[in-house]
Structure 1
Amino acid sequence: MSLCSKCRGLDLVAALRQAQGPSGSPHDEYDGGNSVIGAWHTFGRDVFASALLCQLCDLVCQGWRKWRLEVIREAILYNMFDPLNPPEDLYDDIEDMDVYLGGNTSFGLIRQERYCSEGEKWNYVLEVACTNVGSQTSFGVHDQLRTKLRITHTGDNEIPVELADLELGVAVCPDPMSTLSVSIAEDWLENCVSNHESCRAKVVAGSLPTRFLDIGDGGDSHKIFLRENSDEEDRRYIALSHCWGTTRPLCLTSTTLEAHKKGIFIQRLPKTFQDAVAVVRTLGLRYLWIDSLCIIQDDAEDWRNEAGRMAGVYRNAHLVLSATRASTDEGGFLGTRPRFNHVAFTVRSSGILLILKLLTPSPLGEESALDTRIVAGEPLSRRAWCLQERYLARRILHYGTQQMIWECSELRAAEDGDFAPIVEDQLGRIKQSATLSTTVFNARKRDIDGVTEVPAYRYAEWHAMIEDYTNREITQDSDRLPALLGLRVALESEVDDSYLAGIWLKGLLEGLTWCTASKNKPLARPDNPSIPSWTWVSVKGPVQFPIYSWFDARARWKVQSNFEPMADYIGHSDILNNGVATPSELRLAAPVVFVRGVKPRTETPPESGAYHGSPPERSTVAEQSFCFQVLDQVGEPREFWIDGSFDIKEEENAIDTSDLQIMFLTRLPFIFEDFEFLEYRFGLLVARQRETGSYKRVGYVDGCLLREGVIAAFPREEGDTDAPEINGLAPDPLCLELQHFTLI
């Protein structure tokens, strides 16, 4: 597919010249305008028609469609329309929507700072928009379409004089070991080692790992050598993070230990290991650590000992090398990198070849910047075992499908020049979160000088990591806790807290409020019956901890009440599993009610029983409603319902309803300004074990208290609704006493 006459006639050089603009903010936007760039297609319909034959028009339409999906996602998130009565054209293709067929097109160029350790340099982004037609309301979800394309040159030829002063960025080279790509990796590493104070502060003086690979013995470049407990003066080593795959072509075993000390021919190594050796040598280093070649795989004691040291191995590595794109050790990570979603554009005056690459739209209202999702779609990011390696690294170099990515405590950068200054590496952010004094139980949003300050919550970063972790694949169910051992060890050494099977004691109630992350990805039981039912480890599949995002997802307009804890930790019991203490019983004191009935949750959200104000949004994953009965203040029985779900659908019919109880963990009085409040609660659905009297978690509750199909409203005490002690205006309407229960 070639370019149409309109696209061939674009004067991108003139637009780049104007976009260069005055010095100042690196994110200033300069509107190139159609008059500068050239006479392009006037209306959306023209672009849609041309896309059938023109590569650039087709790429613009692809970008518009992605932008449209982002608009829809944001509209759903922010409740811009009634989900039961959405706009008729919500999911229509943009080519079938009159508002875009007749929309006017426009150009703009954005100059963005790109990463350079030596000074200020720029990337240039072409933005193509299609406005909507007529007067449209936000409820119609007809925002203008926008797409962004980065403009770079190939670097194959010397840049002509007319573009030299623009310092135009160079497109990512298909060869990851090209001179330019290697120089970028070297620059990232050197700049971090020399200039990043926080990264250097994390260096722990110590020895090399128990075993490591010497790839620069000097005498034989065709071999690498296994070493043990060396006192080398240079203790810098690189640790490899990789996907093993389904086979183990070369491992360290009791029988190969001595042979590996005498040398392993590089050609015998799987491709990923060969590539790692090449990178280490290119970076001028000598030592490499690979788990399968440095831990004796058929020695259980050696494996336990080295697994306990894993946190230190990755944390103290000079660099963690991530084979991010390789799905197996045989795959390698230095193969040719394809250029997706791009157009080659020849400048008429000079003949230089420019590359226009389609950029993925960032969430609306946010600037495009690198974040932790940058490698989310890569094979390594789908493996549970590899998550802690990324979190433990103080600096890590990813080799992705399309480019290299750098992460350390001060910088996240991509080979194409995008970068984002950051504060702390991922382990550091978890540590900070673990020691916060603010929790969902004592932190309120505050308006300071017109800006809403959103508090950070204790252990929010840990539980966000668990959400990522449970989305990943793991071969052995029994490895689900061991695969986090390194992170656990790293945190235990610095936080004053107890670890209970994937949940930290000072974040216990928040950690118990897990549930499925999606109706489309139901949970299942792992093949590990010894795991207690109350922890997220007792299920397989993606989970979420909705209490942290409750205000953002359910009541963005609400800035007042806090959650209140309703349960108290009493104690827990451990069992020994392969010499490791693992919690089994969890003893709590909590208000508990018997379940009197179960029914499917109504599709239509219930109305509020209050006269004024909007109730919070319902859980998107709860599928049932559970009935219970309590006595009011005069001793009369009152019946309530609350939304929730069983954890495992297949277990519903096997559970006797007479054994079901609801254990309430937290409440939030949803206070209105006048005289009423609604009662929102999180809790566990538990089943009594008749033979022992203990309880197993079988589900959760997450919703407002309901009466007769309406959200129950309760009278509040008089007082100032802006007072810090606002929760005191809404005492617990159920007045249940705490009872002691043992969860297993």
Structure 2
Amino acid sequence: MEDPLCNLCAALDIPGVVQRLVSDSDPAPLDSPWHNTLADVKTSSASCTLCALILKGWQASRAVVVQTAVQNAMFDPQDPPTELDEPVEKIAGYRDAPGVALEAVRRVREVGDGRGARGSVFLRVGCGPKVRSSWDVLDPVVAELRVARELWEEEIGPGGVDAVVKGDPLAEESLDVARGWLRKCQSRHGAVCGGAEGWLPTRLLQVVPGDDSIYLRHGDSLPSPSGDARYVALSHCWGQGGTPITTTHLTLPLRTAGINTDLLPQTFRDAVTLTHHLNLRYLWIDSLCIIQDDAADWAAEAARMADVYRNAHLVLDAANADADAAGFLRPRAAPDTVRLRGGLALSLLPPQGRRWTDPEGRQDNLAGEPISARAWCLQERVLPRRALLYGEHQMFWECECVRASEDGDVVCQVGGGALGRLCKTAGVADSVFSRVDRNPGNEMKQETNWAAWYRMVEDYTARSITKHTDRLPALSGLAQGVVRERGGEYLAGLWKSGLLEGLLWCKARPGPPALAATPEYVAPSWSWASVAGPVQFPMYDWYTRRAHWKAKMADFESLAEYLGHETVKRDVDDFGRLQGGVLALKAPLLSVQDIRPRQARAPALYSLFGHEPGRSEVADIMVQLKTGSGSLWIEGAFDIPGTSAAAAADVVSLSVVFFTRLPHVLEEGFVEHRFGLILQRSGNSSRYRRVGFVDGVVLKKSMLDAVRGRGMFSVVGYPRPYKEGDLDEVARNNDLASDPLMLGRVEVVVE
């Protein structure tokens, strides 16, 4: 059934353009007349589904334009363009600009489903002023729609175009795509995407053709006449209250005797069904293959999780199911799709820069699915060499060489599979402390030392987890995978060669959710795993969020030296649960004298001119520190809400340890930005535990004009160290941003 269209959209000859593009891949303008301005499209969108979809695409494209302008400092954030945050149809520069541009383009590629080469045809609709200034933030906006066939069998010229995703995930056409992906990966990628030959989990579920039961078998004695022990591993959300069926010591004999598939929750039944359709005979499901009431068995199997998912012949990702009872092979509907005459459809794509097929591969095609909210499922996404993933609207494929979607998109993996991308920055030479190329345009790539790991931790800590003591075990497989691929010494979720970057974590964003104390011991206080809630690592995004313009000017400088550490394991897993741990560093340590709420306005910068230093979004206190010559103030925050009042009443037990500094160079001199931790002495001992962080420039009290609305603190400025009578430029700039505080370092032990 065709969707309602205006006369101009109905007159577009999409089939004719597709026919022309089959033999000529150059962009083809549409000869049919169409709307001349965005205002015309807005008026038509009230009754035309295609005009409404294009307007939606322009709005999404506009969001990317604004984001890029912010990152590139194209305007003064204190004086932004007046229409910056307005809907695109209300911005005169777009609304009234004449000459909306329509064209169709075709890209031919191997889609990876075994059907050979296919063509993707896109309709691009652009809008924007012909003349603009660099500061007005009116770059063109573009809506791009994919042309697809409603009927799978229908071909429009040689090679055809992509097909609309079938509503039934078990339709033969959809199953053919899945089989084609797997077949092509096996034949073309070989050992790159294959697991370790002969490796098997401790237990597997045997799926017998024609049998309505599955059987729990020990991996050492699989009854496979053909010798084919390739297995499928399931990644799934158990759901609130856990999964309805598990293996315990009591039920173990029953599982071995056979489990009738009618008794399985729908997600498990769907996994069995797909295993049948893919002609495989063994299936691994954690709740059935691990004895759930045996702590020793659970600990041993958790330690093998990396091997289970890494060596599976295929991983099934039930991404769209929020519980095992829901199932993942549910009917699907294509979103943002307009049906046209002639069996064609147009589907709106995300704007450039926000597609999972973009070259850097940073976008996640399953980001909005229920499985992406669960902590345990993160490593189950990263570890597999091959995975078949079921989203709400379509099916996806990921292996070490290719990522593909059921609607036809395909991209070669950049830097290998997901684990390869995670390992890409493990122990690399470029770091926040030393980079050869400090081009601002490269900052968005975030390829400095351990950046990929800590970005992954930011995602991980924003996910939910039932047992807080699982916070390290649920990442154990990834830590093992990194060590096997790249090496490195692991410290309770951090890495020794990226230690300072990892120690400087804080709350992810202002407002809720807040960080919370875990009800039982999980990790040492210096580890992000010691708290519950989303965290961030601010040193990595300093130049992208606070001072993009400054990326070529300075690196962070380390103020701390690693002396040693010790962690005490709770289980056999070297990367799993802990029962203790300490870290010893040599660094500047200053006593806290006072704590006050942070002033609302940014501290004034009087003696120097230029860009003011970036301010932490989550700091909310001012900390006064005692120095040999007096005192200084710096902004920060306590990790756990409610800690502030108790700590402020007992400041004598508090200290601040500085880990890094970043001289913020201005025209007449520089200001001193420092990062560190707020520590509290543990009882009467000489050891400390982390209770907060500091992140800000060195501040001083100042007597300011209250009428001007200024705060009571201002930034301490340090002049250029000119030598009297020396006009040599090199001498003038020598030692420009040397440490003005010159603090001594002492041994600090944090537990």
TM-score w.r.t. the length of structure 2 is 0.88
Deviation string for 1:416-464 (max 9, x for gaps)?
Answer: 111221122222333343242333223231679x999978322222111
Deviation string for 1:313-347 (max 9, x for gaps)?
Answer: 1111111111111111111111111111111011x
Tell me: CA distance 1:529–1:63, structure 2 relative to 1, closer, same or farther (3 Å): same
Does the 8 A contact of 1:396 with 1:407 survive in 2?
yes
Does the 8 A contact of 1:608 with 1:614 survive in 2?
no
**Using the alignment, how far apart are the partners of 2:744 and 2:602 within structure 1?**
30
**Letter of the structure 1 residue corresponding to residue 11 of structure 2:** G
Please state how far the C-alpha of 1:107 moved relative to its aligned partner: 0.9
Q: How much is the aligned-residue C-alpha RMSD, in angstroms?
A: 3.1
**Letter of the structure 2 residue corresponding to residue 431 of structure 1:** C
Please state how far the C-alpha of 1:286 moved relative to its aligned partner: 0.8
Does the 8 A contact of 1:446 with 1:454 survive in 2?
no
Tell me: CA distance 1:485–1:641, structure 2 relative to 1, closer, same or farther (3 Å): same
Q: 1:256 aligns with which of 251, 260, 264?
A: 251
**Using the alignment, how far apart are the partners of 2:4 and 2:421 within structure 1?**
48
Please state how far the C-alpha of 1:18 moved relative to its aligned partner: 4.8
**Letter of the structure 1 residue corresponding to residue 177 of structure 2:** I
What is residue 449 of structure 2 aligned with on the other side? 458
What is residue 405 of structure 1 aligned with on the other side? 396
5 Å matches for 1:638-717? 639-656=631-648, 657-671=651-665, 676-707=669-700, 708=702, 709-716=714-721
Does the 8 A contact of 2:590 with 2:657 survive in 1?
yes
**Letter of the structure 2 residue corresponding to residue 463 of structure 1:** Y
* Residue 155 (1) aligns with residue 147 (2): no
What is residue 349 of structure 1 aligned with on the other side? none
**Using the alignment, how far apart are the partners of 1:474 and 1:366 within structure 2?**
26
Please state how far the C-alpha of 1:683 moved relative to its aligned partner: 0.9
5 Å matches for 1:209-220? 209-216=201-208, 218=209, 220=210
**Letter of the structure 2 residue corresponding to residue 149 of structure 1:** L
% identical aligned pairs: 39
Please state how far the C-alpha of 1:157 moved relative to its aligned partner: 5.7
Q: Secondary structure at the match of 1:240?
A: strand
**Letter of the structure 2 residue corresponding to residue 625 of structure 1:** M
What is residue 354 of structure 1 aligned with on the other side? 344
What is residue 63 of structure 2 aligned with on the other side? 69
Q: Secondary structure at the match of 1:594?
A: strand
What is residue 226 of structure 1 aligned with on the other side? 216
Tell me: CA distance 1:51–1:452, structure 2 relative to 1, closer, same or farther (3 Å): closer
Q: 2:627 aligns with which of 622, 627, 630?
A: 630
* Residue 386 (1) aligns with residue 373 (2): no
Does the 8 A contact of 2:73 with 2:548 survive in 1?
no
Q: 2:478 aligns with which of 474, 481, 487?
A: 487
**Letter of the structure 2 residue corresponding to residue 468 of structure 1:** D
**Using the alignment, how far apart are the partners of 1:681 and 1:722 within structure 2?**
28
Please state how far the C-alpha of 1:379 moved relative to its aligned partner: 0.6
**Letter of the structure 2 residue corresponding to residue 225 of structure 1:** Y
Q: Secondary structure at the match of 2:102?
A: strand
Please state how far the C-alpha of 1:735 moved relative to its aligned partner: 0.8
* Residue 96 (1) aligns with residue 90 (2): yes
5 Å matches for 1:237-256? 237-246=231-240, 247-256=242-251
Deviation string for 1:557-604 (max 9, x for gaps)?
Answer: 331432222112222343453566544222221102223343444444
Please state how far the C-alpha of 1:43 moved relative to its aligned partner: 1.9
* Residue 129 (1) aligns with residue 126 (2): yes
**Using the alignment, how far apart are the partners of 2:357 and 2:376 within structure 1?**
32
Does the 8 A contact of 1:463 with 1:545 survive in 2?
yes
What is residue 540 of structure 1 aligned with on the other side? 532
Does the 8 A contact of 1:19 with 1:32 survive in 2?
no
Does the 8 A contact of 1:444 with 1:561 survive in 2?
no
Unaligned runs of 5+ residues in structure 2 are 703-713
Please state how far the C-alpha of 1:62 moved relative to its aligned partner: 1.6
**Letter of the structure 2 residue corresponding to residue 363 of structure 1:** G
Please state how far the C-alpha of 1:21 moved relative to its aligned partner: 6.3
Q: Secondary structure at the match of 2:635?
A: strand
Please state how far the C-alpha of 1:626 moved relative to its aligned partner: 2.7
**Using the alignment, how far apart are the partners of 2:728 and 2:122 within structure 1?**
48
**Letter of the structure 2 residue corresponding to residue 125 of structure 1:** F
Please state how far the C-alpha of 1:738 moved relative to its aligned partner: 0.8
Deviation string for 1:446-501 (max 9, x for gaps)?
Answer: 679x9999783222221111111011111122211121122233334455433222
5 Å matches for 1:323-342? 323-342=318-337
Tell me: CA distance 1:429–1:96, structure 2 relative to 1, closer, same or farther (3 Å): closer
What is residue 708 of structure 2 aligned with on the other side? none
Tell me: CA distance 1:22–1:344, structure 2 relative to 1, closer, same or farther (3 Å): closer
Give the number of equivalent residue pairs: 715
Does the 8 A contact of 1:212 with 1:287 survive in 2?
yes
Unaligned runs of 5+ residues in structure 1 are 347-351
Tell me: CA distance 1:44–1:495, structure 2 relative to 1, closer, same or farther (3 Å): closer
Does the 8 A contact of 1:593 with 1:662 survive in 2?
yes
**Using the alignment, how far apart are the partners of 2:566 and 2:547 within structure 1?**
38
Q: Secondary structure at the match of 1:196?
A: helix
**Using the alignment, how far apart are the partners of 1:123 and 1:296 within structure 2?**
48
Q: Secondary structure at the match of 1:324?
A: coil
Does the 8 A contact of 1:208 with 1:230 survive in 2?
no
Deviation string for 1:182-204 (max 9, x for gaps)?
Answer: 1211121122222125624x631
Please state how far the C-alpha of 1:530 moved relative to its aligned partner: 5.2
What is residue 41 of structure 2 aligned with on the other side? 47
Does the 8 A contact of 1:443 with 1:455 survive in 2?
no
Please state how far the C-alpha of 1:154 moved relative to its aligned partner: 0.9
**Using the alignment, how far apart are the partners of 2:404 and 2:504 within structure 1?**
35
**Using the alignment, how far apart are the partners of 1:415 and 1:561 within structure 2?**
46
Please state how far the C-alpha of 1:506 moved relative to its aligned partner: 1.9
Does the 8 A contact of 1:716 with 1:731 survive in 2?
no
Deviation string for 1:499-536 (max 9, x for gaps)?
Answer: 22211222211110111111133222222245322111
* Residue 617 (1) aligns with residue 614 (2): yes
Does the 8 A contact of 1:610 with 1:676 survive in 2?
no
**Using the alignment, how far apart are the partners of 1:522 and 1:722 within structure 2?**
50
Deviation string for 1:110-147 (max 9, x for gaps)?
Answer: 323444246543211111122238x5434333333321
